[in-house]
């Protein structure tokens, strides 16, 4: 079981790194994220629209920098096997946040989308059971 979770950790880490690399332009142009959020605003259900209007859009300059860096950092931690449970839990919250904000999680198609339940399920499994996996990096001092 631990070897399977370790493999999942590496795969989810690579996925997050690729997603983060795709968002590096946000680091210098927060308008890219803002345009995406405004597009979602026109399509999202009421709860997502409220979240977009009160949290995501006003904080888009912060999120434009935080999200790519967080995806890259969480992905690297998962690949290396460092603090897997923490990295997976934070990535799970971040991914669920995007799915909620876009409104996609309220559609039937979300159930069959490879970016939906498989990603959330994989991150949840790692957050719940990712402690002490083999072949991971540990920066703790042993005396």
Quote the pTM value: 0.91
With a cut of 90, say whether residue 134 has pLDDT above it. Answer: no
In tens, the pLDDT along 59-106 reads 999 999 999 999 999 999 999 999 999 999 999 999 999 999 999 999
pLDDT of residue 143: 47
pLDDT at 141: 53
Domain-wise residue ranges, the chain: 2-129
Compute the average pLDDT of residues 11-20: 98
Instruction: Give dist(CA 88, CA 26) in Å, integer.
Output: 23
3-class DSSP state of 77: helix
pLDDT at residue 137, as a whole number: 82
Distances (CA, A) of 21 to 1, 15, 26, 72: 30, 10, 10, 7
Q: Counting beta carbons within 10 angstroms of the beta carbon of residue 67, is it exposed (0 to 12), middle (13 to 18) or buried (19 or more)?
A: buried
pLDDT band with cut points at 50, 70 and 90 for residue 120: very high
Decide if pLDDT at 116 tops 70.
yes
């Amino acid at each position: 079981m631990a070897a399977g979770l370790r493999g999942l950790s590496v795969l989810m880490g690579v996925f997050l790194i690729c997603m983060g690399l795709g968002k590096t332009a946000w680091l210098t142009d927060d308008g890219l994220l803002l345009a995406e959020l405004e597009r979602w605003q026109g399509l999202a259900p009421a709860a997502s629209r409220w979240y977009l209007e009160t949290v995501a859009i006003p904080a888009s300059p912060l999120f434009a920098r935080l999200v790519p860096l967080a995806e890259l950092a969480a992905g690297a931690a998962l690949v290396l096997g460092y603090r897997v449970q923490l990295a997976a839990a934070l990535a799970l919250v971040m991914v669920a946040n995007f799915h909620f904000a876009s409104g996609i999680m309220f559609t039937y198609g979300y159930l069959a989308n490879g970016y939906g339940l498989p990603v959330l399920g994989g991150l949840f499994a790692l957050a719940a059971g990712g402690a002490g996996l083999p072949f991971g990096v540990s920066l703790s001092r042993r005396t």
